[in-house]
Amino acid sequence: MKIEANRLGATSEVEVHAATYSTRYQWVEPGLARMERLHQWGEQPTAIIDVIGQYWGLGFTQFESGLVAFGRRGQKIQVSGEKCIFIPPYSIFESHIGGGSRKMHWIAFISLEKPPEDLPKKPIIFDFPKSGLPKSFQDVFEIIRNAVNVVEIGKEEEVSAVALKTKSYLDIHYADEMPIQEIANQLKFSHAVMDRAFKKCFGISPVAYRARIRTLNAAFVMTLGGKSVSEAAMQMGFSSLDHFTRQFRRFVSARPMDYLASLKGTR
């Protein structure tokens, strides 16, 4: 399935405000948007399985020591200082956030355009480039290609052909109205085997993974594609607006109508 982003004009901005973050979007050039976010973390430490939908992004931030670590292969990868993170489409990663009600400011460049084949296929973190922030697609690609001190941060606890095949199927067919049991049958796995393998590898179930892709892609087309709540829900395969609203509040920390109202207030 392909989604499109066309809401913003060449110089216009869109702002999004939710309970724990505020975000501003602006086009850098056609197909490439700059996203600037201020995120407020709570008092208690927390672990989050993050999922990225059809889009990809290159983020820049200053990591405060002890604030963020990434879980991979049974270890926590601690990060600090000025760093870049490249997140390819349909990535899964686990973030461990330290408590203390701290804020984090970061800038990312995001796109729905297919990234070049030579770029990494898994999430990575690396040192902030001497060239500074990018101003174009070409700048973004060169920063990634010239990355220094690269560390993989994608969530992958146990390599599994079953889990990888399941994920590849969901990445393409996430909007299809097909029960997970039928997907297992389609892939010639038992439901139990497929569910267990996926959880062991990625830390979440196939059902949860699909729900997050649908929800985050819906938020994306509402933000940059100009879709209404009902249009976004239908396009992403939600069977009802009530179900969409529950998932949206869970993963985006806002009701869809409030989120859309926030966008309309900044057009």
Q: What is the pLDDT of residues 19-48, one digit of tens each?
A: 788 889 998 998 899 999 998 887 888 888
Which pLDDT band holds residue 64 (cuts at 50, 70, 90)?
confident
Residue with the bigger pLDDT between 265 and 150: it is: 150
Smallest CA-to-CA distance from 200 within 160, 171, 166, 169 is with: 160
Residues of the chain with pLDDT > 70, as a percent, come to 94
- Which run of H or of E encompasses 41? none
Query: Can you give the pLDDT at residue 217?
Result: 92
pTM of the model: 0.88
Interval 49-54 mean pLDDT: 91
Q: Which long-range contacts (CB under 8 A, 24 or more apart) does 117-123 make?
A: 118/145, 119/86, 119/88, 119/144, 119/145, 120/86, 120/88, 120/144, 121/88, 122/88, 122/91, 122/152, 122/154, 122/156, 123/85, 123/86, 123/87, 123/88, 123/91, 123/93, 123/152, 123/153, 123/154
d(CA 240, CA 30): 33
Provide the pairing of β-strand 46-51 with 92-97.
Answer: antiparallel
Which pLDDT band holds residue 18 (cuts at 50, 70, 90)?
confident
Residue 2 clears pLDDT 70, i.e. is over it: no
Residue 10 clears pLDDT 50, i.e. is over it: no
CB atoms closer than 10 angstroms to residue 203: 18
Residues 136-172: tens digit of each pLDDT: 999 999 999 999 999 999 998 888 999 999 999 999 9
Residue 4 clears pLDDT 50, i.e. is over it: no
In the block, tokens 């297992």 appear at: 184
Sign of CA dihedral 14, 26, 154, 197: positive
Query: Can you give the pLDDT at residue 51?
Result: 93
Residues 107-123: tens digit of each pLDDT: 999 998 999 999 999 99
Residue 265 clears pLDDT 60, i.e. is over it: no
Distance of CA 198 to the CA centre of its chain: 18
Query: Can you give the pLDDT at residue 246?
Result: 92
Residue with the bigger pLDDT between 40 and 194: it is: 194
Query: Can you give the pLDDT at residue 133?
Result: 94
Query: Can you give the pLDDT at residue 9?
Result: 42
Domains of the chain: 31-152 (2.60.120), 161-264 (1.10.10.60)
Supply 97's token pair.
């956030």
| Phi/psi of residue 168, nearest 5 degrees | -60, -40
Query: Can you give the pLDDT at residue 250?
Result: 87
Smallest CA-to-CA distance from 3 within 175, 176, 177, 178 is with: 175
Which pLDDT band holds residue 11 (cuts at 50, 70, 90)?
very low
Q: Which of 62-66, 96-100, 162-166, 195-199 has the lowest average pLDDT? A: 96-100
Query: Can you give the pLDDT at residue 5?
Result: 46
Query: Can you give the pLDDT at residue 12?
Result: 66
Query: Can you give the pLDDT at residue 264?
Result: 59
Average pLDDT of every residue of the chain: 89
